[in-house]
A and B are shown apart, each in its own frame.
Chain A
Amino acid sequence: MSKIVEGLLYSESHEWVKVDGNVAIIGVSDFAQSEMGDITYVDMPSEGDEVTKGEDFGALESVKASSELYSPVSGTVVACNVDLEDAPELINQDPYVNWIIKVEMNDKGELGDLLNSAAYQKFIEK
């Protein structure tokens, strides 16, 4: 049973977003980390990079597979979680505390396309 945190928004590609003013804090869901297995590497963009909603901004690698990270919003990367460079296992330990990037959003309207926790729960049960 995957953990889902209420109050976050979710994408169908299993990223979560926490909205903090105009900044979107982005990570991956517990479902995503459990599907991936032990994460061995997190490929992240750099601060200042532009990301586009629906396009990849990095990737997770595990013993099993490599999986792209898709940005749930468009905007500019304002922070990357550098702790993940040396300790990618943090995502396995708690995917909701260990965010991956923070994005200054261009258009907060894009958040309307994301799922709330109840809708995401239904989505992963399918």
Chain B
Amino acid sequence: MRYYDKLVFELSRDGRSAFSLPEAPAIRLPESVGRKSNLELPSLSEPDVVRHYTNLSQMNFGVDTGFYPLGSCTMKYNPKINEEIPGMFAGIHPLEPDCAVPGIKKIFEGIDRALAELTGMAHFTFEPCAGAHGELTGLMLIRQYHISRGDLARTKIIVPDSAHGTNPASAAVCGLEVVEVKSGPDGLVDVESLKPLLGPQIAGIMMTNPNTLGLFEKNIAQIASLIHGCGGLLYYDGANMNPLLGVVRPGDMGFDVMHLNLHKTFSTPHGGGGPGSGPVGVAPHLVKFLPEFGNEGELRVSGFHGNFGVILKAYAYILMLGKENVPMAGRLATLSANYIKESLKDCYKLPLECICKHEFVFDGLIDDGAHDEVPGATTLDVAKRLLDYGFHAPTIYFPLLFHQALMIEPTETESLETLDAFIEVMRTIAQEAAQDPMLLHTAPHNTPIGRPDETAAARQPVLKWTKSN
């Protein structure tokens, strides 16, 4: 990566232009809405513009440039054919009547049927535009279900202590009170701790399976019967669906409502706040509450049908793989994760010794190199050092169950050579830490930017550029 830190405004010179606009008739606006100050748009020649954005793009790291083992994010490769499909639909307007776009209707029916079959749900709504948006939609559905039955006291939702942070956040936004259930020493939801929480105030439970430690919640059938027994519903957070795809279905585990992250599991791009899609599926008894199918309530969570382009890409992915190949994705993702875990557990602390699914968590280095006055290398240091070797850092300090959590998810799209290269670098970093932890404390050494001052950025964020800066 080459260092480049110019702002487009700094390159601007008065009088330059990359484009000539045709003469337009003058529009007279009332003086009250007229602009008092200059517009301050940058003036650049075409080569300046092209070089600026090309240089900026080279400062980026993505799945197209390298291995991206970000736990819980399923950064799998995004097939290029996915990008071609949405372009074919660019001329369609969302306000066109259904009869003018029968093909679109067929696409929605097709992906609805595919996702329903993969998850064991009855139908999906495609309105939610991201995972957390899906969670909120799902919880609103659960609320609506209870309210429609006159069961107004169900205001509490159970969330495991290992849950994704979005779970309690979505519940709070939905007006539900979050009740935490502890994990047992095996990293799974502790059924005995769950039992005393149950009662007529429980709206349901939010779970992700496999959980954030990458472990399959093997007591799920018992948990489902306990939750249903007290009148609650089960919500499935689909962020970790990748290893189960085509193998195990949330509907069969007893879940009533779920979301899928099309931008994780179904290979559409994400990261950097890019458009996602979090369709929500429900069991048959809840179909009447779905926006597209519903006749009960007025639940709408976005305009039209959500991020249609993303939905198209995901549908292309499903059709490309086909029913017979979909299960290979999850199996390979699981194999890759276990391969890395077993290859590194003699240098990194593995808190739970067992077969994982698509991801796993280390709890820092076994030998962090601490001696005398030199503090040992932390998980943050390992992550920063990885950047020097050209890999994206894994998720760090999540889940919160371990102090030095380092969460690795390789996905199924990486070759054995890439996995081996990553393992070798991780072993090298562990050696460096043991011999010279200072080398890690000061990493990264080879990137255009070292360690930004995150604290200052959070305390005094500078969000706006002004000429005087």
Task: Give the Cβ gap from A1 to chain B, nearest Cβ, in Å.
Answer: 14
Task: Give the Cβ gap from B336 to chain A, nearest Cβ, in Å.
Answer: 28
Query: Which residue in B397, B400, B459 is a CB contact (below 8 Å) of A40?
Result: B459
Task: Give the Cβ gap from A81 to chain B, nearest Cβ, in Å.
Answer: 16
Give the CA-CA distance A89 to B453 in the complex, in Å.
Answer: 14
**Count, chain A residues at interface, CB 8 A:** 9
Residue in A closest to B403 when the chains form the complex, CB atoms: A35
A64 within 8 A of B: yes
Task: Give the Cβ gap from A64 to chain B, nearest Cβ, in Å.
Answer: 6
Q: A63 and B400: CB pair below 8 A?
A: no
Query: Which residue in B400, B454, B455, B459 is a CB contact (below 8 Å) of A65?
Result: B400
B88 within 8 A of A: no
Residue in A closest to B397 when the chains form the complex, CB atoms: A64
B463 within 8 A of A: no
A88 within 8 A of B: yes
Q: A38 and B397: CB pair below 8 A?
A: no
- What mask results when residues 82 to 107 of chain A are scored 1 for a CB within 8 Å of chain B, else 0? 00000011000000000000000000
Residue in B closest to A38 when the chains form the complex, CB atoms: B455
Considering only residues 350-406 of chain B, those with a C-beta below 8 Å from chain A are 397, 400
Q: A41 and B400: CB pair below 8 A?
A: no
Task: Give the Cβ gap from A113 to chain B, nearest Cβ, in Å.
Answer: 20
B458 within 8 A of A: yes
Contacts of B459 in A (CB 8 A): 40-41, 88-89
Contacts of A38 in B (CB 8 A): 454-455, 458
Contacts of B458 in A (CB 8 A): 38, 40-41, 61, 63
Interface band, chain B: under 10
Residue in A closest to B454 when the chains form the complex, CB atoms: A63
Number of A-B pairs, beta carbon distance below 8 Å: 18
Task: Give the Cβ gap from B147 to chain A, nearest Cβ, in Å.
Answer: 26
Contacts of A64 in B (CB 8 A): 397
- What mask results when residues 433 to 469 of chain B are scored 1 for a CB within 8 Å of chain A, else 0? 0000000000000000000001100110000000000
Residue in B closest to A67 when the chains form the complex, CB atoms: B400
Give the CA-CA distance A61 to B461 in the complex, in Å.
Answer: 15
Q: Which of A64, A88, A89 has most B Cβ within 10 Å? A: A64
Give the CA-CA distance A41 to B455 in the complex, in Å.
Answer: 10
Contacts of B454 in A (CB 8 A): 38, 63
Give the CA-CA distance A38 to B397 in the complex, in Å.
Answer: 15
Contacts of A65 in B (CB 8 A): 397, 400
Task: Give the Cβ gap from B364 to chain A, nearest Cβ, in Å.
Answer: 14
Contacts of A88 in B (CB 8 A): 459
Task: Give the Cβ gap from B41 to chain A, nearest Cβ, in Å.
Answer: 34
Give the CA-CA distance A88 to B459 in the complex, in Å.
Answer: 8
Contacts of B397 in A (CB 8 A): 64-65
Q: Which of B397, B454, B459 has most A Cβ within 10 Å? A: B459
Residue in A closest to B396 when the chains form the complex, CB atoms: A64
Considering only residues 29-60 of chain A, those with a C-beta below 8 Å from chain B are 38, 40-41
- What mask results when residues 7 to 44 of chain A are scored 1 for a CB within 8 Å of chain B, else 0? 00000000000000000000000000000001011000
Task: Give the Cβ gap from B400 to chain A, nearest Cβ, in Å.
Answer: 7
Task: Give the Cβ gap from B161 to chain A, nearest Cβ, in Å.
Answer: 13
Task: Give the Cβ gap from A19 to chain B, nearest Cβ, in Å.
Answer: 30
Residue in A closest to B459 when the chains form the complex, CB atoms: A40
Task: Give the Cβ gap from A126 to chain B, nearest Cβ, in Å.
Answer: 14
Give the CA-CA distance A65 to B455 in the complex, in Å.
Answer: 12
Give the CA-CA distance A63 to B458 in the complex, in Å.
Answer: 7
Contacts of A61 in B (CB 8 A): 458
Residue in B closest to A61 when the chains form the complex, CB atoms: B458
Task: Give the Cβ gap from B374 to chain A, nearest Cβ, in Å.
Answer: 17
Give the CA-CA distance A61 to B459 in the complex, in Å.
Answer: 10
Task: Give the Cβ gap from A55 to chain B, nearest Cβ, in Å.
Answer: 11
Give the CA-CA distance A107 to B361 in the complex, in Å.
Answer: 45
Residue in B closest to A92 when the chains form the complex, CB atoms: B455
Task: Give the Cβ gap from A27 to chain B, nearest Cβ, in Å.
Answer: 19
Give the CA-CA distance A64 to B378 in the complex, in Å.
Answer: 14
Task: Give the Cβ gap from A5 to chain B, nearest Cβ, in Å.
Answer: 24
Task: Give the Cβ gap from A7 to chain B, nearest Cβ, in Å.
Answer: 30
Task: Give the Cβ gap from B390 to chain A, nearest Cβ, in Å.
Answer: 25
Task: Give the Cβ gap from A83 to chain B, nearest Cβ, in Å.
Answer: 14
Residue in A closest to B400 when the chains form the complex, CB atoms: A65
Residue in B closest to A37 when the chains form the complex, CB atoms: B455
Q: A38-B458, A63-B454, A65-B400 are in contact. List 14 more A-B contacts (CB 8 A).
A: A38-B455, A40-B455, A40-B458, A40-B459, A41-B458, A41-B459, A61-B458, A63-B455, A63-B458, A64-B397, A65-B397, A88-B459, A89-B455, A89-B459
Question: Which B residues lie at the A interface, using CB under 8 A?
Answer: 397, 400, 454-455, 458-459
* Nearest 3 A/B pairs, CB to CB: A40-B458, A38-B455, A63-B454
Could you list 18 examples of A-B contacts with CB < 8 Å?
A38-B454, A38-B455, A38-B458, A40-B455, A40-B458, A40-B459, A41-B458, A41-B459, A61-B458, A63-B454, A63-B455, A63-B458, A64-B397, A65-B397, A65-B400, A88-B459, A89-B455, A89-B459
